[in-house]
Structure 1
Amino acid sequence: MSLRGVSKGFSPAGGASVIQDVSLDIAPGEFVTILGPSGCGKTTLLRLINGLIPPDAGTVEIDGRAPSPGPSMSFVFQSFRLVPWLNAADNVGFGLALAGMERAQRQPVVRHWLERVGLAHAAASYPNQLSGGMKQRVALARALATDPDILLLDEPFASLDAQTREIMQLELLRLWEERKRLAVFVTHSVEEAILLADRIVVMGPAPRSIREIVPVDLPRPRRDDIRTDPRFLALRAQLTGTIRSLIADDPNSPFFRRA
């Protein structure tokens, strides 16, 4: 995946982010997290990668072609985006159905992924019968069921409580390590970014662009005890300082550090 000089603007009245001159290469099988304060364009960048919106300048290419939504690229949202009138099994199989797979063919795939996320017992349950963590497991299973080459995740665990969020981070790592799809994960959390990533792309406001790319030199597979590793703690301190500086230097921030 390659982004070259990508810029995207929206009208100020819309309150949307602006991406300015972003260049980035992501290798197959690499897990990249996009980290930065609110309003720096992280979600806009993800939507440009997905092909949901076109760039105003520059190019986004995947295997030499402009991106377009399809079964080879799955998107996991913060708000789950489950279909309320479908049960868990049919939500997991939704992408497969859209791709034209018959129900008889879908069933073993759906059953496999419900088992992988620990929800085989909830196959017949509807979204309003599931907890937040269970809904996000269904959303993750749905994204993986199409066997995508690229997995895009827009703060998928942000609405979960702290304990469930940590469990889901480890579940995602476990599932990703089995096939190591190219993954791009947007987050506000420094710890989450470090735990998951091979590299962390730090974006900042005013201008909304990449400020630095930080490699994460931590062994895989990663488990919860990696959070106490001295290298993890050093990276957390470094990145926390960077984010605080970006916020303090942003004239649109209420925490703007005036000279």
Structure 2
Amino acid sequence: MLRRVSAYTSLEALLHDAFWADEGEPVELAMLDELLRGHPGTSLEIGCGSGRLLLPLLQKGHDVEGLELSREMLAMCEKSAADLSLAPVLHEGDMTVFDSGKKYHSLLLPAFTFQLAPDPAAALAHFHRLLEKDGLLYLSVFIPMAELHRELPEGEWYEDHRTSLPDGRAAAVHTRHRLDRKNRVLEREHRYELFAADGSLETEHLSSQTLRWFTPRQLRGMLEKSGFEAVHALADFDPELPVDDEAQIVTVVARKRPPAARKATAVKRRTR
């Protein structure tokens, strides 16, 4: 019987890296490397998963800890780290309430992790508390253009990805989605399948996730209300593209504003 469970467990965790490997080197890795070289200090990658970005950043000499909700993904990260003779500081927990008892120089939320927060505004306020003075927040978000433009059939299963595994088996993931356009919520179901070398189905796994999306203007407003000021933004991972309503992916680096600056900004707005 196919059983629905939360995301990033079971077969989904097992196949996570296999699907990402087909995409080549993570495009955000170079961006994070450059950011951390210009802003050294202890960082926290939120949603570090199996270490796809965390471990290369450690190999480059950065001081980065990892936070992950899925125990299975953390176990994969620990194993990969041991194979590389790395010993990362890893935390298991929910990004909306996690508190290690110390402040971080930067918080990293790549790969659209921020959009999984059930209350994005509350999450940003929490991140503000986790940062040192002048700490940086890095996050990337996407707008589901294919779903919004009906290029993908709503309410119907479609093949999202298929790949071959080193042991001769194959894996596929099918997706079904539902949009709440008014509240900008995307509900996704994923059906992961593992096939034997002869093509027969070995096992399958069903998971679901809820994502929220924002326009660039909404994201800027949320950051400002939470005590951040954007210092850098780009569209679709391309520094030559403007961040406008046509952008599908928006990456932002924002700086924590001190309380005094936040009060001054609020007064300035009231007197306009």
Q: Could you say whether these structures have the same fold, taking a TM-score greater than 0.5 normalized by the shorter chain as the test?
A: no
- 1 or 2, which has the higher strand percentage? 2
| Greater Rg by CA | 2
- TM-score normalised by structure 1 residue count: 0.34
The structure richer in helix per residue is 1
TM-score normalised according to structure 2 size: 0.33
Higher relative contact order (CA 8 A, sep 6+): 1
